[in-house]
Structure 1
């Protein structure tokens, strides 16, 4: 046996072996495996329903195909829920109830994407009621008139969400009682589906910044935002430099000059806004007066109450308060009427006042110079004194003026007494009369009302024609001339106009048509006719009424006039240096009507 045999490899053989090895290796790049897109995406809970306020169990996705690199959702999940964009897991605590909503979740990788619709509902949990919220706030209204919309009170949980299964009993009350008012209407209500509704609420006294409070046992109460209750006027009376009105609540308000206490608010400060008359507790004034001056103003003002009592305030130096004293009164003071006398109308002239009873008796008090009180003496009377009705007749109305008084009987005859040197008595003469004297009306004319002014008197005849008599120097007769008329003559009314109300003042008069339009005539030196000019008019001239406004009552004072709307607003025009127009200013004159602030 041979030992130590050596193998000899030549260079040629080595090169060949290398070549063979190299031939076994390809010359191209290595192949990368292809990524598969996600498939069959879904969630462990789909559809999903979660109670509000409770942490959810993680909602986990599943899918086939390749591994998912990211997740996205559209639209955004309900408040409090989140999607992990890496794992796709949905977690969190829903904070707001939401109806069933479809959300699209998309899983994506390098190979593509897959989507699934995921329905999620967030239900309202049986929340615990903790608080109240007024959701329909009271709006500005007028006294005695229902609030424009029902007040709504919601029962809510601690998060402020409506508790729809709550049935608590809720009570409303006045919070800030700005006008010492009383709340009327449904004030206690059981909630339905978590809401208590209060229709027909009203407050009987005007005031600024009233609030309502809502309360329920065991719940935190709430207070409304402030709201205003406006004065709802149902009567207006105009005097020398003041104006008064009676509201639906029975309160009397006055504004203008107050140097003698004629505003009745306990001061002698002028007021350019309605100021409540201070009256004894329980006193309610009425806005019922056939001559339209139930609360009117000279140097003393008077009003009639629901019980037929008369109260006056202002200057009393000549007995025109009627309480038996000769003192000014800064607040409403009871007129000392004879026992058993109850007034069904009251009128205040410049320096005296009068009233009628349901039985047809007439009484006057105050300054009787020149016979203004009609008792035949010409004396001042600090207490009501009966006016003798001629022929045993009964008075239906009395209208006191400046030194002259007129009235009508229940038979429609007109009588005047007092100052008559300008022929304002209407009997054909120009002399004073100490007792009621028959007005020489044209044949067949009977009067529904008669009212003295200053140098002129007027009457409203049945049938809607106005007659005037006395001085016509400023056109106040209204017949187209500026002459004195010793007996009644008809005013020249515009074609087709029939009058329903009359107001006579010192040197001008106003009347209302049956359609609620206002007409005035006579002196217009300070715009008291309301036609936009300073030109005297000797025939009835239309007042420049605001658009859409009509009047139900009208009153004329010395230098200004006012009208009342069916909606309880008062408009005034003329002289305003004492604030008697009630618009909060003393801008004067006002040539057309401005609204009295309420």
Structure 2
């Protein structure tokens, strides 16, 4: 593949900004890294130093550190997506799209502007200026502008796919494949030839020359050619995936992974070693050294190595912190808070690491702000299972995440009926139903289960009307909410009696009422007459017999019949008369 974002280079060594000598690095906790197996995902060769990003996103720089360009700051030690090594400064893009620069900043080349502090896809560090392309294709440049290298032309401010900052000049490829260069045009290094003005895939600005690869894989170079650095050999005139222009030499990788270099060779920077002659995915031409990365992630450097720029260290691997994550193992009732904790934080093998921060997610899917507090109280408002997380972060920003599942159960609700029904009642009778429930605020609802015998009407079905003889069942329910479980239903039952059945039931009560024989026979006879008339459909006769019964009971109330008994019989016969249509 064409490594558009990775072919970034580097200016000449002919000019060194007169900045004060860098002070020795300040003391502090060392980077929590150990060498580990695995490859590099991207690298870049600067003037006298080299940088590379491991597959895990850890950044390593080596070689000249006279301006602390190889002294990677904490913000760029992990989570890095791409790095660019300039002459005496270095810049990196994080996986979150933020640019960090360090090293020589005499011209402000490491002072990252707001436009490059987020949403960046690629950065390029040149001789004394820097440029970056956003994910939306917007181009921003800063630093030295004595030759206009940071003054982006109007047509190149947007729609950019890749940028390369060179030695006082800058070149960019648009998303449409057009190459534009600006800044110092000595030796015509910023004058793009007609053959490279369209259909291009990648550009590389060197010190005094520039090279580009077309979408068809052909390399074109222009600018200074005193060492043959723009004389593209036949091997790079087709099937090229990427090109890199250095100080006075150029290298290119073919689509098959073969490496070709041409130009100045005073430090054997063109003498490709056996390890880099095949299987190459990326090349970077520096000042007087060259580095290549294989498809397997192995980086090999050659040429001038006086400053250690060709001595490739093993890829760094982050040593992640560890902690014990605490979360409830038993269900939590909705409405009650639970606590998440991270204890025993440490970095294995680094007992001096003590600057930890912690972040927690109570199950919302979003972490709260990290802080030194190693616990968090989580409120609950709804039942259900939730995935909670805890993250411990060490002094270098490396983090380890832990997850657990917490079950939140609903609050139980219970229905209590406060208006119980009789075991039986006469048809046409009505009752007002009442019950209390749980604290969810949901209403208690009454609903008939036997519509042929009884009906529930009114607010929440609280009015029960008996409509026909037979069994009547009413179900009492209360719905749940996110925090409250539905109450267990309660069923109310009673028998609905016809007028005849109710009269027979009243006769049985009278017969068992310990009355004198004469009075008992007289009353039961009247009730028998009413039952017979009701059975025959003679409502008028039934109503007369019932009226006679009531008249005699009233006459004997407090005499032969106790008042309470008489009142109960009179209430029953009144209901029966209503049911009979009297």
Range of TM-score over shorter length: 0.3 to 0.5
Q: Give me the TM-score of the superposition, normalised by structure 1.
A: 0.45
Of structures 1 and 2, the one scoring higher in RCO (CA 8 A, sep 6+) is 2
Higher helix fraction: Structure 1 or Structure 2? Answer: 2
Q: Give me the TM-score of the superposition, normalised by structure 2.
A: 0.46
Higher strand fraction: Structure 1 or Structure 2? Answer: 1
